[in-house]
A = this chain, B = another copy of it.
């Protein structure tokens, strides 16, 4: 059970309700998941985080499905149970197939392995890799 109770639509203050409406409209869904209902206990955080998620996760230079898979990659690395479930569901809704899901986890797992080899052996960054990132 969450440390604070989820706030349902009917009991929400108008400001929170407006955000719930925006979440449903933006995502074209008819419900609000627990993440937002719990954040609603702190309307400032709810508003700030929803604005961030809405902006960052919108398709841009990277498409929405790839962004969801990146989200899953981070959530698996950090072991966030809630986020693994919610963003796997999100990626699936955006078109992630079963073979894509398996490959996603395989890449995440392998990266966690080689991260430790690189850090454990204290491997020096090759000069050729130090060029600035793409412009």
Contact = CB atoms under 8 A, between A and B. Distances in A.
Interface in A68-110: 69-89, 92, 96-110
B82 A79 contact: no
B71 A128 contact: no
Interface in A48-66: 48-49, 51-53, 55-57, 60-62, 66
14 contacts: A1-B130, A4-B132, A45-B105, A48-B106, A56-B107, A60-B103, A72-B120, A77-B77, A78-B119, A85-B125, A86-B126, A92-B134, A97-B134, A109-B120
A27 interface: no
B66 A129 contact: no
A9 to B, nearest CB: 15
Contacts of A103: 56, 60-62, 67
Contacts of A48: 51-52, 55-56, 106
Interface of A: 1-5, 31, 33-35, 38-39, 41-42, 44-45, 48-49, 51-53, 55-57, 60-62, 66-67, 69-89, 92, 96-126, 128-135
B78 A77 contact: yes
Given A66-B69, A67-B103, A85 B121 contact: no
A70 B67 CA distance: 9
